[in-house]
Amino acid sequence: MTKRIAYKKGYKYQLQHDYFEHIPIQPEQDIKTDFLLLDVNGNLVVKKGYAWDGVSGGAPDLNGFMRGSLKHDAIYQLIRMGLLDMKWRVVADAMFARDSKQDGIWGFVATTANKLLRAFGKRHASNTLLKRTYYAP
């Protein structure tokens, strides 16, 4: 056994219980990671302990953005990991806007966020942005 730890930086939030939702993303085969499950029918489970960074790009982490940002970050992570095809990015972006509207964000703000995601989000789904693992001591 070692006293060395491995960790990643850049997260702000950690899910306190499992979250389930049926989403319009259906991979060719079931995907299972330590914290994310997405089956071929579009059933998404984000497990307790999952960490994400909320809304990006300087937007405030308002309560109305939190559910959408959780699901959006989870889907982008699966794309970055090569487990989900990049074609699903547009659906993830639209889901974020829809969720934000449902959760109380003004329509034009959610629509603007979707346009920004479409314009600037592709690099965030790229595997070049996988979070680096750090070690200590």
Confidence (pLDDT) at 129: 67
pLDDT in tens, 18-62: 999 999 999 999 999 999 999 999 999 999 999 999 887 777 889
For the entire predicted model, the pTM comes to 0.87
Segment 116-126 shows an average pLDDT of: 73
- Minimal CA–CA distance to 52: which of 78, 31, 71? 71
**Contact partners, residue 127, CB within 8 Å, separation at least 6:** 80, 81, 82
> In this model, does residue 125 exceed pLDDT 90?
no
For residue 26, being part of any structural domain is answered with: yes
Q: In this structure, is residue 89 part of a structural domain?
A: yes
Q: How many helices (H) and strands (E) does the chain have?
A: 3, 8
For residue 128, is pLDDT > 70? no
Per-residue pLDDT tens digits for 63-107: 999 999 999 999 999 999 999 999 999 999 999 999 999 999 998
C-alpha span between 129 and 80 (Å, rounded): 7
**Domain, as residue range, for 101:** 5-132
Q: How many domains does the chain have?
A: 1
Q: Is 137 within a domain?
A: no
| pLDDT value at residue 34 | 97
Question: From the CB of residue 55, how many other CB atoms can be counted at a distance below 10 Å?
Answer: 20
